[in-house]
Amino acid sequence: MVNESATLFLDCGNTRIKYSHGDDYGVFADLGSLASFVTDGYVCEVVVASVSHQTAEVVGVLWAQGIEAQVATVVDGFAGLRLVYPDVRLLGVDRWLAMLGACQRFPGQDLWVVDAGTALKIDYLTKDSRHQGGSISVGLALAAKSLTGNTAHLPKADLGFSAQLGQDTIGCLNFGIVYGAVALIEQTVQSFGSAKAQVVLTGGDADTLRPHLTKPIIHAPNLVLQGLKYYWRLINELNGDSK
């Protein structure tokens, strides 16, 4: 077995660096916090999944601490997960790991994997772990920033979403942004795939969206990191590592 208590797993997204160490999950406020954690903690190896422009900086911080980062890459057919992309290099590693984590947790089921982060990503998998495709759209915060930043005289949305129609401009913005995302998720799930497919929701905006989704869902926080840990466990098993 891999000694995961000595391994730091990093999910470097567009806005945050999330981590798992042993049974703990959290977020590093900045690269300095990461450096301090590696220096002070019991960390023998670091495994990184990154879609961020900060990848080189993260690797550099680790290198300065004497740790060579292991960077996860998308592999078609890994753990039986077959991808629909003709060129899997174009599939974000975060989407792949979320799907991998979902397949591990919910084997033998048709699955919708919804990752509500900076981008809202939806992917469909059949029960034999075959990726059928998906969609990518703007996340809640990015939609609010884009709308208010590029439209004159609109106040900044506070993302304080409610289930009521807006009764002022901010309320209308918030309602439109959140229900646009809800409608995309529910219409996609309804229009494509199996009627019995399980919807698995993860990502930083999951708690905002959950109260407004009418379809049954499973909330799976940290799904990308769980997929990363599963990936690394299998890599070590394939390499004959029995830590």
58-106: pLDDT as tens digits: 999 999 988 989 999 999 999 999 999 999 999 999 999 999 999 999 9
Total domains, the chain = 2
Quick one: residue 123, left, alpha or beta (phi over 0 = left, psi -120 to 50 = alpha)?
Answer: beta
23 is catalytic: no
Q: Go through the chain and tell me how many residues it has.
A: 243
CA 155 to chain centre: 29
**Residue 207 is labelled as binding a ligand:** no
Catalytic residue, chosen from 94, 110, 123, 205, is 94
**Residue 23 is labelled as binding a ligand:** no
176 and 193 housed in the same domain = yes
25 and 90 housed in the same domain = no
pLDDT tens digit sequence for 199-231: 999 999 999 999 999 989 999 999 999 999 999
pLDDT tens digit sequence for 4-43: 778 999 999 878 899 999 999 999 988 999 999 998 877 8
**Residue 166 is labelled as binding a ligand:** no
For residue 15, the domain's CATH number is: 3.30.420.40
Question: How many angstroms separate the CA atoms of 243 and 236, rounded?
Answer: 9
What does the H/E/C string look like for 186-229? Answer: HHHHHHCCCCCCEEEEECCCHHHHHHHCCCCEEECCCHHHHHHH
**Residue 46 is labelled as binding a ligand:** no
Structure tokens at 223: 């799904």
**Residue 118 is labelled as binding a ligand:** yes
Cα 57-10-32 angle, rounded to 5 deg: 45
188 and 206 housed in the same domain = yes
Give the domain range for residue 128: 78-226
Long-range contacts: 118-121, Cβ < 8 Å, 24+? 118/13, 118/14, 118/15, 118/142, 119/14, 120/181, 120/184, 120/185, 120/203, 120/205, 121/92, 121/94, 121/95
219 and 99 housed in the same domain = yes
